[in-house]
A and B are shown apart, each in its own frame.
Chain A
Amino acid sequence: MNKETNQLFQAKENYIMRKIAGKDVLIPIGGNVANFNGFIEMNPTAAFIWNILKSPASKYEIVKAVSEAFETDEGIARPDVDEFISLLSEHDMIEVL
């Protein structure tokens, strides 16, 4: 739990999230445009988490916010949050503070 509360994540600045044709997408800007040849479509949960990550947030805070917003148990939300955070780290889209 300590790691989950102490370690903070924040979205990198070189993405802009906005709606394209009614869907939430991330547009890569700056030096990383070559990493994604196009935009990244986000489902509602991913878009929700990305909005949280605009400010530094711990995994605990994210899980709590997701479970409240989507009215689900933290135990159910945690694996999805873990997976999404891993994916963002893998693609160098977030910073670990």
Chain B
Amino acid sequence: MADYILERNPINASFELTVRCNLRCKMCLFRHDEAENNDLKVNELSAKQWIDFARQAAEMGIGGILFTGGEPLLRDDFPEIYEGVYQHGFIISLYTNATLVTPEIMNLFRKYPPHKIGISIYGATPETYKTVCGSSSAFQKAIDGSRSLLTLPSVIEFRSTIIKDNLHESRAIEELVKDEFGEKYPVSLSRMVMKSVRGACSDVESCRLSPEDNVRLMLQKSIDTLKNKIGKNFDEKNIRIHYGINKSKTDCFSPRLKASLLGCGGGTDSFAVTWDGKLQACQLLGAFQTDAVKHGLKKAWEIFPLEIKLPPFDSKCQNCSLGEICQCCFASRYAETGSLSGCPEYACRDSEIIDSLIFKESKTS
């Protein structure tokens, strides 16, 4: 067991090139106040530093690098960083809002296509883009940018976050993607919108869905699929909600125990490097950091577990029976309550709603 615990192979890393963005999305976890942009820019890692991190990451045996932000394409030196990192040989992913896809960027991507591109899309109309992202013109830019990116051999996924301001277009966003780009492109939705982290300024609480609407949205997709398959005789009352826990007998013999630092892959097989060079378990959890600029990436990864000090959970969580369906992790606890042991009421309510919907026989079978 001791050997297993010590086996920490970093497989994937996120490079958060910047937390600046050309959009001002209400629900953004990382966006800072615009007044901070100059200070942020000055303290961002240089292209040379990111490329050196990529060199070190390759030596560490890392397979996948995700370029994320903020909006990574906002950086003037993005082409230099991208090409320099790419040359070291990784499975490259990119998260972008697709509004800054210039001919120069397309030339770069045609030469070095990302393996996967996640395109954020937050509305089906310019009006909704204005409300959610602060820019109506961003809508057409995102459509045009997406169309260009779709000419690449990359795997493309559209990603959306639904808040109060675009809830009315949640289906229209999927329709838009289908009509503009074809049926084969899925739109994945954020499961739960957490409060902003690491000094970001978004007032997420005022714009995110109520837990009830959020769960309804989560179920909407599977209900829509059933409706399409069954047709006019479909009655929503006949739906039974099961929670996806496989309890087949053969599972008893499968190894289920896995050692980790935080209950997930963060800090065990993946990490994020922030815009200013801090190594974290994931982009969300800023409570534990090591300085990758000071120590180098490899050393920062090696000493990272020493930083982790986890308090016992809130007593409500300790005695809760909904642990199997609870969406909480240390990152969400910290983002929501400011404490690693805190009980995030939003996630708590989410679990209670799901529990009330679950077909009870499925829980005891």
Chain A contacts to B: CB under 8 angstroms? 16-22, 25, 27-34, 37-39
CA distance in complex: A49, B94 (Å): 32
Q: Do A16 and B113 touch across chains, with their CB atoms under 8 A apart?
A: no
Interface size class of B (residues with CB under 8 A): 20 to 34
Among B58-66, B128-136, B166-174, B207-215, which stretch is in contact with chain A? B58-66
**Count of A-B contacts with CB under 8 A?**
48
Q: Do A33 and B11 touch across chains, with their CB atoms under 8 A apart?
A: no
* Chain B min CB distance to A87 (Å): 21
Interface of A is mostly: mixed
CA distance in complex: A22, B110 (Å): 30
Q: Do B89 and A37 touch across chains, with their CB atoms under 8 A apart?
A: no
Instruction: Considering the complex, give the chain B residue whose CB is closest to the CB of A17.
Output: B89
Residues on A with C-beta less than 8 A from B62 are 20
Instruction: Considering the complex, give the chain A residue whose CB is closest to the CB of B115.
Output: A33
Q: Do B9 and A31 touch across chains, with their CB atoms under 8 A apart?
A: no
* Chain A min CB distance to B55 (Å): 11
CA distance in complex: A37, B117 (Å): 12
Instruction: Knowing that A18-B58, A30-B111, A33-B113 touch, tell me 20 more A-B residue pairs with CB under 8 angstroms.
Output: A17-B89, A20-B63, A21-B11, A27-B63, A27-B90, A27-B91, A28-B115, A29-B86, A29-B112, A30-B112, A30-B113, A31-B113, A32-B153, A33-B114, A33-B153, A33-B154, A34-B113, A37-B155, A38-B91, A38-B115
CA distance in complex: A77, B229 (Å): 54
* Chain B min CB distance to A60 (Å): 30
Residues on A with C-beta less than 8 A from B155 are 34, 37
CA distance in complex: A78, B66 (Å): 41
Residues on B with C-beta less than 8 A from A29 are 86, 89, 112
CA distance in complex: A32, B113 (Å): 9
Please tell me which one of the listed residues A16, A21, A32 contacts residue B89 in the complex, with CB atoms under 8 A apart.
A16
Residues on B with C-beta less than 8 A from A32 are 153
Residues on B with C-beta less than 8 A from A20 are 11, 61-63
CB neighbors of A among B142-163 (8 A):
153-155
Chain A proximity mask over B1-45: 1 for CB below 8 Å, otherwise 0: 000000001010000000000000000000000000000000000
- What are 16 inter-chain pairs, A to B, with CB distance below 8 A? A17-B89, A19-B61, A20-B61, A21-B9, A22-B9, A22-B61, A27-B63, A28-B115, A30-B111, A33-B114, A33-B153, A33-B154, A34-B113, A38-B115, A39-B63, A39-B91
